[in-house]
Amino acid sequence: MALSLETRFWSKVSKTPTCWLWTGCTVGFGHGRFTIWKQGTKLAHRLAFRLVFGREPREGLFVLHTCDVPACVNPDHLYEGTAADNMRDCVSRHRHGSATKTHCAQGHAFTPENTYLYTGRGLNERQCRTCSDRWKTNHRQRTSETRNAKRREARRRLREAPPLPDEEWITDGETVEARED
């Protein structure tokens, strides 16, 4: 007799005092993987969520871990959240590569005085003030130089253009005499 889906699934879990660790096959970053006949491969923590709560996560939401252990399938450690929630957790728990950086790509230290913090779009981002200020200065200068070059070119074209005759204008193929007011 074949084992039920739940029996097969939970047989691959090792319960510890805190987390319930997946002991079966894993994929990138340590998340568990479970194959269901004719349904394909599922992530173990998502399947644990479905088995315990009786439903799939709501549309557009992910199953996240409160414990920060990718192999954990303990239902008490699983909750639904958005991609932004997942990234916010990642940064706040210092798992995000940029969150642990102490210097920018140019070597300037991320100090409170030298760091811009952006909190838009639900994410926190840092940017080096020194690099940002240099970029803004260079951008303004490039923009100004481009604008001035275009103005110089337009003035040059006006100077080099043949003068219009004072006594007549051409409109729609007809010559019109100039009027004196």
Tokens 């230290």 belong to: 109
Does the residue 135 lie in any domain? yes
Is 171 among the domain residues? no
Within a domain: 37? yes
* Domain assignment present for 21: yes
Q: Which residue range(s) make up the domain with 110?
A: 101-159
Q: Measured in Å, how far apart are the chain's first and last C-alpha atoms?
A: 109
0.85 surpassed by pTM:
no
Per-residue pLDDT tens digits of the chain, which is 181 residues long: 577 888 999 999 999 999 999 999 888 788 999 988 888 888 999 999 999 999 988 998 999 999 888 899 999 999 999 988 888 888 777 776 666 778 888 888 888 888 877 766 656 677 888 888 888 888 888 888 888 888 888 888 888 877 666 555 555 556 555 555 5
Residue 168, strand partner residues:
177
- Count how many domains the chain has: 2
Asked if residue 127 and residue 43 are part of one domain, the reply reads no
Same domain, 127 and 145: yes
Pair 17, 88 in one domain: yes
How far, in Å, CA of 1 to CA of 3, rounded?
A: 7
Distance (Å) of CA 5 to CA 9, 14, 54, 75, 92: 6, 17, 13, 17, 36
Are residues 53 and 90 both part of a single domain?
yes
Residues 35 and 55 reside in one and the same domain = yes
